[in-house]
A and B are shown apart, each in its own frame.
Chain A
Amino acid sequence: MATRTYDGTTVEVDSRGFFTDPAEWREAMAPAIAAEEGIPELTDRHWQVIKFMRHEYQDKGTGPTVRVLGRISGVGIKELYQLFPGGPAKVAARIAGIPKPQGCI
């Protein structure tokens, strides 16, 4: 299992860099993960999505898809793509320290 170090703490990640144990995540780690995804600064809008991702994961055991994010996170799909280029559901899940969303069966 691979590891990464964020905010001075070493955590386990899968082959694509997603946290294997979401309990290891702390808010202070998010900016460094975001930087790896090419996001230089996390704004309030980013945090709104990140906190929503954490909440959904704790509630349902998996992160939401882009479509669900667009419907109920309070941030529209177009803006989600601007905030998290390259795939909001995946990128935001990684920054939020939860596993890759399974939504696509």
Chain B
Amino acid sequence: MVQRVVILGGGTGGTLVANRLRHLLAATEAEITVIDQDDLHIYQPGLLFVPFGLVKVARLVRSRSGQLDSGVAFRQVGVDHVDIDHDQVVLADGSHLGYDVLVVATGAALRPEETEGLTGPGWRDRVHTFYDLAGATALSGAMAGFRGGRLVVNVVDMPIKCPVAPIEFVFLADWYFRRRGMRDRVELVYATPLDGVFTREVADRELAALLRRRDIEVVHEFNTGEVDGARGRLVGYDDRQVAFDLAVVVPLHAGAACIEHSPGLSSELGFVPADPATLRAKARPNVFVIGDAADLPSAKAGSVAHFQGDVVARNVAHTLAGEMLEAGFDGHTNCFIETGAGKAVLIDYNYDTEPLPGHYPGPVGLPLLRESRTNHLAKLLFEQFYWHVLLPGRPVPGVTAAMPTAGKDLRAVGSRAREETAGGY
């Protein structure tokens, strides 16, 4: 009997899971349908470079359906909600689509309207974001026209997609204004809700040092209550104020509205709680989640969706066959952090292990936790890798879903981190 797999979302996670599943299952075993409300697949890592004029927007967008295997059906239609009690998706046009297994790959949505004043006076003028295509494009104009003053980069609250991107933006801004010969006329400020610059200890130390070296002011534990674009200031819930001439704000994130409106499927913020190792949704045994849509203790990043893809595809196949699931995902995350001047830092970690110095993916490889030109070139090459290897779901020689330990300097961890690591091995 042909079983029905429905995948909500044709972004990074949905696309690569659909393609991997098609390789695992014959057409006589399962039909695979990907649903999305539009046919625009955006290469999101590229958004960071748009404000600095380093990439053309048109290059970042391709067709969603064009990235899918010919054996995968694509339907361009909105989703109203999922009815997990009746194993069906209720579409925006009122029709229903039944499934045997559902994969939620709807990503994270930006909610700028949830912060007082953010989309009010000054929005798209002196208050910007680079987290979507329209925002990044508008910001490129504002950056080019900036004549000096205080540029404040602000993360309203976690969780956000790619938690290193705002730090990369500050590094690139430092380099951008140096190249324009006006760095001495720009104050760069990074205002974050965290008590460090990054949530993981060793990487936090390294990144904080890089920010200091570039004369970038960090405002810690700043919870933005209001953005006052007219007067040029961020107001914290604790009444602290951060003045700006140009603000680059990473808005609040939440799960997709259709998931938030699906009774019993998501947590308060619209993300889907799941088993951290099998990626099966806690709500139902025939629902899985991948990527930014998940409520998991791992970062919302493309690399995470990539490493999850293998586990999700195989566990969907196991579920269709009535087999046991594989507890295969270890929280593996891998991020290239642009630091400006054609260099980048690479970090690689998982649920239990901090980002450590050393090399990736093995003793001979890219340097970890250290600025290097090779890492920057690798980040640029990654764009081709994304379209031609990662999305089609092809295996990559030397790159495994599980985090590699060969090549890492495990002595670099502090005592607290070592205690945490001990549980993982």
Contact = CB atoms under 8 A, between A and B. Distances in A.
A87 interface: yes
B237 A77 contact: yes
B269 A78 contact: no
A87 B416 CA distance: 23
Q: B interface, by DSSP: helix, strand, loop or mixed?
A: loop
Interface string B220-234: 010101000000000
Interface string A5-27: 00000000001000000000000
Nearest to A68: B268
Contact of B223 (A66, A71, A103): A66
Contacts of B194: 104
A105 B268 contact: no
A99 to B, nearest CB: 12
Interface residues of A, number: 19
A78 B199 CA distance: 25
A84 to B, nearest CB: 10
A59 to B, nearest CB: 11
A87 B223 CA distance: 9
Contacts of A28: none
A40 interface: no
Residue with the greatest number of chain B CB neighbours at <10 A, chosen from A65, A66, A80, A85: A65
B297 A78 contact: no
Contact of A105 (B157, B158, B193, B221): B158
A105 B159 contact: yes
Contacts of B193: 104
Contacts of B225: 77-78
Given A66-B223, A67-B269, A81-B238, A105 B298 contact: yes
Interface in B394-425: 416
Interface string A48-76: 00000000000000100111100110000
Contacts of B300: 105
B61 to A, nearest CB: 28
B299 interface: yes
Contacts of B252: 67
A38 interface: no
B158 A103 contact: yes
A71 B268 contact: yes
Given A68-B269, A105-B199, A105-B297, A78 B237 contact: yes
Given A15-B416, A104-B158, 11 more contacts: A66-B157, A72-B268, A77-B223, A77-B237, A80-B237, A81-B223, A86-B238, A87-B238, A104-B193, A105-B199, A105-B299
Interface of B: 157-159, 163, 193-194, 199, 221, 223, 225, 237-238, 252, 268-269, 297-300, 416
14 contacts: A66-B157, A66-B223, A67-B157, A77-B225, A78-B237, A80-B237, A81-B223, A81-B237, A87-B221, A103-B158, A104-B158, A104-B194, A105-B163, A105-B199
